[in-house]
Structure 1
Amino acid sequence: MARQPRGFHAGRPETPAPTPPGMAARVAAARAVAEALTLARPLEERLAADLSLRAGGFDPRDRALARSIATVALRRLGTIRKALARRMEKGMPKRGGALEWTLIVATAQILFLDTPDHAAVDLAVKATRADPASAPFAALANAVLRAIARDRDLILASSDPLDDDTPAWLAQRWRATYGESAARAIAAAHRSEPTLDISVKSDPSGWAARLGGIVLPTGSVRLDTHQAVAELEGYAAGEWWVQDAAAALPARLLRPRAGMRIVDLCAAPGGKAAELAAAGAEVTTVDRSAERLKLLAANFERLRLHSEIVVADALTFDAPPFDAVLLDTPCTATGTIRRHPDVGWIKRPGDLPPLVKLQAQLIDKAVALTRPGGAIVYCVCSLEPEEGEAQIAAVLRRNPDVRRLPIAADEIGGLAECVTPAGDLRTLPCHLWGDNPRRSGLDGFFAARLIKAG
């Protein structure tokens, strides 16, 4: 049986008491936050398991509510914990069961969502009473949450995006790598709801008009809608796919064209491979996960695109040399924190060394799979220089047959701020920022284009 975070129990009573409306969604959110912070379990994985397991008890609004609460709780976790700590003189009870997680999700609702204060407090107190371990602290939960509701404006005014809502180890790294100003801009961007970008097969302007969005300088279409993606015009017909605007850039750097043989290593879920195939390239997609490749295959079928799909570890995959290789390697994914706020809290500094070692091995494999004169694009959705700039510097040192082909700003929509002095791509969450946060920003990405001597 899977481990349970403190205060949550796998067993169920034979005759459970009726659950108050909205309670199940809040408990699911609390459980997801608890497992992210204590077991390093990805938020979406826990939510998917809970919402699927209890599908009969969740209507679409409850599902959306659980996801919304858990997401904002992790996005603003530092602010929430600071607010709770300042209103609990003796600190969080050591044997309080699920109390901590109940208070965190309730505080998230009070401070950052449209939930009426009385509803957030009332359901949190009921959830506290329902857990035997936390039940003795129901009065404490009531008092603390009422104090937070009363002090909302003061709490928000004193909250700092970098010092409070960014894990300390990442704040320190980003200050050292990008400087104080950029680190603060990154952290501020992470507080905003993520964008919804799509890559279209053709006619970006037409699709932007039909779906109520804008065409970005890079060619991606950015939408304002909160409607379910599968319900939008053109989705079922396979006219477009969801892909962050920054994630859409690496495939284009290969300059794909009809007849070009390209392998996409670590390909799932397949957005970059779809761009290559849509340009007419002969694409081979490789990934070690058969389940993830099933999703890729389904997406390609919807898009009416073709790829040779291979279930294999990229390090042991073998084939005649390709014209080009796209390598989007496993990484810390710290460039996606705006979209996945659990990432910053479930990752640790110790995760970096094994990933850096694997990335170096994969780059060397990509070079071996490239024909003389062919191109390689290496990319990661990480803000950490060890996974980006340092990897390229290292491969150029150890492989005299490889050279960098610098990226020009006009290849990425004129975004000169996203091209490093060495000629690599480096997007930050605060890039492409405007007055409307929903239409602003990019995932944090690094990409470099290499040429193999021939």
Structure 2
Amino acid sequence: MVLSRSPARRRQPDNSSETQPDVPGLASRKAAAKLLAAVVDAKTPLDGMVDAEHGHPQYAALSVPDRALVRAILLSALRFRGTIAQLIAARLRDALPPKARALEHILHAGASQILFLDVPDSAAVDLAVTHAKSDPRTARFGGLVNGLLRSLSREKETALPPALDRAEDAPHWFRSGLEAAYGGEKARTILQAHRVEAPVDFTMRADPALWAERLDGTVLPNGSVRVARLPAPVPDLPGFTEGAWWVQDAAASLPARLLGDVAGLRVADLCAAPGGKTAQLALAGAKVTAFDISRSRLKRLRHNLDRLGLEAETVEADILRHEPAELFDAILLDAPCSSTGTVRRHPDVPWTKGPEDVAKLAALQRRLAERAVQFVKPGGRVVFSNCSLMPEEGEDLWAAFLREVPGIEPEPFRADEIEGIAPFVTQAGTLRTTPADWFSSDPSVSGLDGFFAARFRIVK
């Protein structure tokens, strides 16, 4: 079935947006399309817009169940954006007009419900049509929305599998970057992993086996506990109130441990919030100073440490300008990055970032790494890390750093330093994880966030 848009006709006065009745479910669909537009068109990160306290006003006005639905629509629409676009295009005789972005977002929000969510198809179609008719920009396309989404509903069982096989649910810059870095086969595995919601990993204060049983999870080789799907919100899980654990991807737990034995040492966590690595260092017996440029993020870090019963000094500062009163024995620099290693959790990242962002962030990381050298005593150890998959922020940056920065020497990681990390230690002695690692027959409990880490000592 092919569809074309309605022929142009004289615009009639349209007051539908003012007179539209309060249709149950309509507000959540409007919010989903609005936020999808903000991500795709304005490159606005999703997390801030769906923040429970300071999110987008249209999202904040919804009930808790409707907020959950909006999040589900957005995550599926972004995770499968290429597949949805392909299925929509196959049902159009002509491409959508260049200025019909609002219509495109309505169609993507509707299609994501039909194809990937447990929402009645009839509700998804009817609310998308009502939405289109309520907006003067899309009112004349109500028939197209109805016909296209009903066609998709009828044919999804046969149309979706081949579309998933053909489509690559990532923009060209991201896909080509992965292929250049990892080769075609591994890049495809990473992209496939991005279609599956990541499991939840916990770092334990003690006794991972006990908490794996209580949380219905499994103990990973590095000691993290992995749960495929949470049975309740995190604050309602056993162990939360007493501070028995914190949520932290298994890959994110490695850099702090790669500083080695830090008991009794003065250690600086230079970009510390939200505090998972600070907590690890404090639990290991370090005297930790946690730096962050954001007051609100430091407040969150202190709240997390209080729950865990751990202590650290906190300093609100821009480390590019801050002069420490005393040098540290060791430094952990988990630097701001493109977050391309976290797409399983944040599928908006490939659509809100681009090569120019990677280059800009790599330059910032280089400056931060050079500054970290000034924070540590001669003979002191530094671990640099970030959650990017892009070599410009990892392997390439590290190679240039070693060539061009005096007074340092690399200290390669060893495959036996932490149980299970041998596959991630490179020939250069750095650490590289990807969502294609720790992959099993069950994608829901597979993979790791993409991380790069390297270690060096000060010899000046």
Q: Could you state the TM-score of these two structures normalised by the residue count of structure 2?
A: 0.92
Contact 1:431 1:442 in 2 (8 A): yes
Contact 1:161 1:188 in 2 (8 A): no
SS at match of 2:136: coil
What does residue range 262-411 of structure 1 map to in structure 2 within 5 Å?
Answer: 262-319=267-324, 320-411=326-417
Deviates more, 1:88-97 or 1:394-403: 88-97
Contact 2:87 2:163 in 1 (8 A): no
Contact 2:17 2:135 in 1 (8 A): no
CA shift at 1:321, angstroms? 1.3
- Determine if the alignment matches structure 1 residue 27 to structure 2 residue 33: no
Contact 1:396 1:403 in 2 (8 A): yes
Q: Structure 2 residue aligned with 1:441, among 441, 447, 459?
A: 447
Q: Structure 2 residue aligned with 1:71, among 75, 82, 86?
A: 75
Alpha-carbon distance in structure 2 between the residues aligned to 1:268 and 1:56: 24
SS at match of 1:151: helix
Matched AA of 2:422: A
Alpha-carbon distance in structure 2 between the residues aligned to 1:105 and 1:350: 28
Aligned-pair Cα RMSD in Å: 2.0
Q: Do the aligned partners of residues 57 and 322 (structure 1) sit closer, same or farther apart at CA in structure 2, a change above 3 Å counting?
A: closer
Contact 2:50 2:59 in 1 (8 A): no
In the comparison of the two structures, how many residue pairs are matched?
443
SS at match of 1:338: coil
What does residue range 105-254 of structure 1 map to in structure 2 within 5 Å?
Answer: 105-160=109-164, 163-226=167-230, 227-254=232-259
Deviation sequence 1:287-330 (CA, Å, 0-9, x none): 11111111111111111111111111111122111111111111
SS at match of 2:41: helix
Deviation sequence 1:393-421 (CA, Å, 0-9, x none): 11211234212222122323223221111
Q: Do the aligned partners of residues 158 and 98 (structure 1) sit closer, same or farther apart at CA in structure 2, a change above 3 Å counting?
A: same
CA shift at 1:94, angstroms? 4.1
CA shift at 1:58, angstroms? 3.0
Aligned to 1:425: 431
- Determine if the alignment matches structure 1 residue 91 to structure 2 residue 95: yes
Alpha-carbon distance in structure 1 between the residues aligned to 2:242 and 2:379: 38
Structure 2 unmatched runs, 5+: 1-14
Deviation sequence 1:348-407 (CA, Å, 0-9, x none): 111122212111111111111111111100001001111101121112112342122221
Q: Do the aligned partners of residues 174 and 96 (structure 1) sit closer, same or farther apart at CA in structure 2, a change above 3 Å counting?
A: closer
Contact 2:199 2:229 in 1 (8 A): no
Alpha-carbon distance in structure 2 between the residues aligned to 1:286 and 1:415: 28
Contact 1:424 1:448 in 2 (8 A): yes
Alpha-carbon distance in structure 2 between the residues aligned to 1:323 and 1:143: 66
Matched AA of 1:430: A
CA shift at 1:54, angstroms? 5.7
Aligned to 1:6: none
Q: Do the aligned partners of residues 122 and 270 (structure 1) sit closer, same or farther apart at CA in structure 2, a change above 3 Å counting?
A: same
Q: Do the aligned partners of residues 195 and 136 (structure 1) sit closer, same or farther apart at CA in structure 2, a change above 3 Å counting?
A: same
Aligned to 1:81: 85
Alpha-carbon distance in structure 2 between the residues aligned to 1:438 and 1:14: 42
Contact 2:83 2:167 in 1 (8 A): no
Matched AA of 1:123: L
Q: Do the aligned partners of residues 383 and 126 (structure 1) sit closer, same or farther apart at CA in structure 2, a change above 3 Å counting?
A: same
Q: Do the aligned partners of residues 181 and 96 (structure 1) sit closer, same or farther apart at CA in structure 2, a change above 3 Å counting?
A: closer
Alpha-carbon distance in structure 2 between the residues aligned to 1:426 and 1:41: 28
Deviation sequence 1:136-189 (CA, Å, 0-9, x none): 100000011111112213432223578520211111111111111100110010
Alpha-carbon distance in structure 2 between the residues aligned to 1:269 and 1:315: 19
SS at match of 1:378: strand
SS at match of 2:269: strand
Contact 1:25 1:63 in 2 (8 A): yes
CA shift at 1:115, angstroms? 1.3
